[in-house]
Amino acid sequence: MDYRKTFAVAPGSAVKLDSIDPSYKGEHDAHDKAKPEIQEAVERMDRLQYLLYADASRSLLIVLQALDAGGKDGTVRHLFTGMNPQGTRVAAFKEPTPAELAHDFLWRAHQRAPARGEVVIFNRSQYEDVLVVRVHNLVPRETWSRRYELINGFEKMLSDNGTCILKFYLHISPEEQLERFEKRLDDPMRRWKISESDYTERKFWPDYIAAYEDALRLTSTEWAPWYVIPSNRKWFRNLAISQIVADTMDDMGLKLPAPHVDLDDIRRKYHAAKREPTQ
């Protein structure tokens, strides 16, 4: 299955998230059946990240967006921890700091964008400024409604500068979210993640869905496509995202750079050094 074709949002197309099954599992019945494919894709991502880092002429930006408990942290942990940390970063977008609020809304995103040779994962992103601020009326409608075009321009600039951009909306149901909250409450290792807002925000679910649908429609572009990933089943989320990332990196045409030295000269020096007696 070509997951890029299956889950991509065509530029300008209307998205109705209620019509997309968040429990979709494709051709596999269970995690055990999909596990070899996930592992193969993760290994491919690791090899390709090495080429990206060595070549240092391109970069990759991966944007993860979801409602609370949608699986952003789990996606990072399961799919990207195999990459070399020397060329991989995760940027978490929490409530803006006073310094960030003193700048334009894209300032903090631009600061965290990948340098050439890097893979950067945005855990939340610049899209918070057309999602949370819209749902909670933090800025006037005339302000956030102009931001879609500004985001498109920002991402086009990154793309023109050699950054490949992939954006994933992790699609879960309200029932799945509530079940995940319950599991956090029962797990001593994850209780720290629970907050009152997890539950109070649920009343805004329809408003968030409407905000996401507009963001997907208005900002899925040829240079920065959105993918809606059914994510009730964590293993299927991992399968689809890993395949999309690996296939996209394959298409980047990444290659090892040519050596910057005369290899024959280096070999001669190596053999000469072997013949020299040690002190």
Cα distance between residue 227 and residue 246, in whole Å = 14
Q: How confident is the model at residue 188 (pLDDT cuts 50, 70, 90)?
A: confident
Q: For 233-278, write each residue's pLDDT tens digit.
A: 999 999 999 999 999 999 999 999 888 888 888 898 888 888 876 6
Structural domain harbouring 218: 3-275
Residue 224 has pLDDT above 70, yes or no: yes
CA distance linking residue 170 with residue 148, whole number of Å? 20
pLDDT at 244: 98
pLDDT tens-digit map of 196-219: 888 899 999 999 999 999 999 999
Burial, 261: exposed, middle or buried (Cβ in 10 Å; 0-12, 13-18, 19+)?
exposed
pLDDT for res 273: 81
The average pLDDT across 98-111 equals 97
Give residue 192's pLDDT: 82
What's the whole-number average pLDDT of the chain?
95
Contacts of 111 (CB under 8 A, 6+ apart): none
Residue 26 confidence class, pLDDT cut points 50, 70, 90: very high
Average pLDDT over residues 95-120: 97
pLDDT in tens, 32-68: 999 999 999 999 999 999 999 999 999 999 999 999 9
Label residue 279 by pLDDT band (50, 70, 90). low
Looking at residue 207, its pLDDT comes to 98
Q: Collapsing DSSP states into helix, strand and coil, what is residue 168?
A: strand
Number of structural domains in the chain: 1
Q: What is the CATH number of the domain that holds 254?
A: 3.40.50.300
